[in-house]
Amino acid sequence: MTGSMVNISKRWGYHGLDALKKASPGYLMLMGAFALLALAGVAVGLHGMVTGYHYVYGVSREISWGILISAYVFCVVTSTGLCIISSIGHVFGGEAFMPIAKRAVFMSIIFMLGGFCIIFFDIENPFRMAIYNVISPNLSSNMWWMGTLYGAYLVFMIIEYYFLLEQNHSLSRLMGFFGLVVGIAAHSNLGAVFGMLHGRPFWYGPYLPIYFIFSAAMSGGCAIMFVSTLAWKINPEIMNQRMERSIKAVCQVTIFLISTIMFFTIWKIVTGMVSHDKSLVIMALVNGDYAINFWCFEIFLGMVLPLFLLLRSRGNNFNMIMWATGLMMIGIFFMRYDIVIPGQMISVYHSLGVEEALDTIKYTPSFHEIMAALSGLAVICFAYFAGEKMLNGHQLEKHEIVPEGGYICPGCGAIHFMEEGETEEDAMKRHHKIW
């Protein structure tokens, strides 16, 4: 038993509970706080399940998807995004993106599991789901495809992660490819769950599936930078030159993606303003109930501030990147909330002009809902901090694909390429400009 543990420790960089024992008391207290929060959230969620969600949740007949669905969307968007951005490296061979792969895939799995924790407390009969999703599938339902494909996605990601640990690069690449395809299919289906609801003009149309994919990539870039720079705070040793270059590359891609989402958002607002059906919702976002959510969180924290800070950081200033992406994660949460809730605020009978449907419908998350959503997020944080220690910063072993003709530089850890007739030393000197 001990022998195999040593073996795993060597091959996978798995340091087990020993690594946790060595962690500082502050670190353990932080982990403990997240564990407590997760347990408290689960307890409150189970209490709600026993009492009946109807009595304790803020959702109603008209607004039947609340903060739990928003948090679920947040988690799975981030998970898919982590998969998309990391696949640039370990699936498509973008060398600069390779060092982030292991942490990204690990976090992708964790975010997905966190999302499942949250949806567990939203679905009224989660146990029936396991049975009837299999024996009574409705192939025309986006919800069915979304659930099924996300299940498959999780399986692919776990297998991929196993092969990454095993350093079986061809199989991890294959699984990564399947995971990416299934993940994108699943995620666009999540967009279509909203986008194919006729009666909801704010959601209806092809916009959301497309937006979700780009938004996922943006969230993924943001999350990778956040978890990597936070890991650097925890253990500065994880930053070698290859990681630095990787962060810089992710930073560039994320800047591009934030700009794309800004573009999407601008046109969503402008086109919505001239649409009779959507303008009420758009005005609630621009100048109404959701204005603080929209301007302060979605626009400022989610896009403008991170864009500015990431540009300022030039991809080198990790402190700045950490703050930018950390705040951006909060902004992104509100971005999801601003899609899910306002889409339901107009009654389907509003256009009929009846008294009952003149006003917009209000929703306030209840204590039970907030705690159940926090349980999933706390699970993610707990698993992240545990993973950083137990898996030794996801860094010990080389897990990246080294292209042919390349080698890992012992000095900086980056992949260098030798030219013909060149020795490794010459190549290193050339790369590092030591003449």
Partner 1 sequence: MNFPKIDLNKLKNEGTESVTVKERRNFLKLGFAITGVYASGKILSLSSVLNDVAYASGGADFVEKYPYNPHYSMVIRQSLCIDCEKCVEACNKTNHVPEYGYRTRILTRKYQGQLDKKVEFIPVLCNHCNDAPCVRACPTKATYKDAVTGIVRMESKKCIGCKTCMLACPYDARYFSAERHAIDKCDFCWDERLSKGETQTGCSSACPTGARTFGNLTDPENIVFKLVHQLEESVWVLRPEDGTKPNIFYMKGNMVSVDNILKGQKFIYTDPAKS
Which residues form the interface with partner 1 (CB under 8 A)?
A: 52-55, 61-62, 64-65, 122-126, 128-129, 132-133, 136-138, 140-144, 147, 193, 196-200, 344, 347-349, 351-357
Q: How far is the CB of 65 from partner 1 (least distance, A)?
A: 7
**Side chain identity, residue 4:** S
> Which CB atom, from 19 or from 197, has the smaller least distance to partner 1?
197
Q: How far is the CB of 126 from partner 1 (least distance, A)?
A: 7
Q: How far is the CB of 196 from partner 1 (least distance, A)?
A: 8
* Residue written as token pair 């959301």: 208
> In this structure, what is the dihedral angle of CA atoms 218, 223, 228, 232, given to the nearest 10 degrees?
120
> Which CB atom, from 119 or from 154, has the smaller least distance to partner 1?
119
Q: Contacts by 326-330 with C-beta closer than 8 Å and gap 24+?
A: 326/226, 326/230, 327/301, 328/222, 328/226, 328/301, 328/302, 328/303, 329/78, 329/219, 329/222, 329/223, 329/226, 330/297, 330/301, 330/302
> Which CB atom, from 65 or from 333, has the smaller least distance to partner 1?
65
Q: How far is the CB of 204 from partner 1 (least distance, A)?
A: 9
Backbone CA torsion sign across 80, 85, 86, 87: positive
Q: How far is the CB of 317 from partner 1 (least distance, A)?
A: 44
Kindly tell me the burial class for residue 151, based on how many C-beta atoms sit within 10 Å of its own C-beta (0-12, 13-18, 19 or more).
Answer: middle
- CA 387 – CA 378 distance, rounded (Å): 14
Residue 392 is encoded by which pair of tokens?
């030794």
> Which CB atom, from 274 or from 352, has the smaller least distance to partner 1?
352
- CA 373 – CA 388 distance, rounded (Å): 23
Q: How far is the CB of 352 from partner 1 (least distance, A)?
A: 7
Q: How far is the CB of 361 from partner 1 (least distance, A)?
A: 10
Q: How far is the CB of 130 from partner 1 (least distance, A)?
A: 9
Buried b (16+ CB within 10 A) or exposed e, 15-29: beeebeeebeeeeee
- CA 269 – CA 286 distance, rounded (Å): 8
Cα angle 332, 337, 339 (rounded to 5 degrees) comes to 100
Q: How far is the CB of 100 from partner 1 (least distance, A)?
A: 34
Q: How far is the CB of 150 from partner 1 (least distance, A)?
A: 12
> Which CB atom, from 193 or from 378, has the smaller least distance to partner 1?
193
> Which CB atom, from 353 or from 410, has the smaller least distance to partner 1?
353
Contact 323, 309 (CB under 8 A): yes
> Which CB atom, from 129 or from 152, has the smaller least distance to partner 1?
129
> Which CB atom, from 235 or from 351, has the smaller least distance to partner 1?
351
Contact 41, 418 (CB under 8 A): no
Contact 142, 116 (CB under 8 A): no
> Which CB atom, from 56 or from 85, has the smaller least distance to partner 1?
56
Please tell me whether residue 166 adopts helix, strand or coil conformation.
helix
DSSP string across 338-362: HHHTGGGSS-TTGGGT-GGGSSPPP
- Reported as type and span, the H/E element at residue 407 is strand 406-408
Q: How far is the CB of 121 from partner 1 (least distance, A)?
A: 11
Q: How far is the CB of 52 from partner 1 (least distance, A)?
A: 5
DSSP string across 49-94: HHH-HHHH-S--SSS---HHHHHHHHHHHHHHHHHHHHHHHHTT--
> Which CB atom, from 1 or from 139, has the smaller least distance to partner 1?
139
Return the closest-CA partner of residue 370 out of 56, 26, 11: 56
Return the closest-CA partner of residue 328 out of 247, 248, 225: 225
> Which CB atom, from 40 or from 129, has the smaller least distance to partner 1?
129
> Which CB atom, from 4 or from 125, has the smaller least distance to partner 1?
125
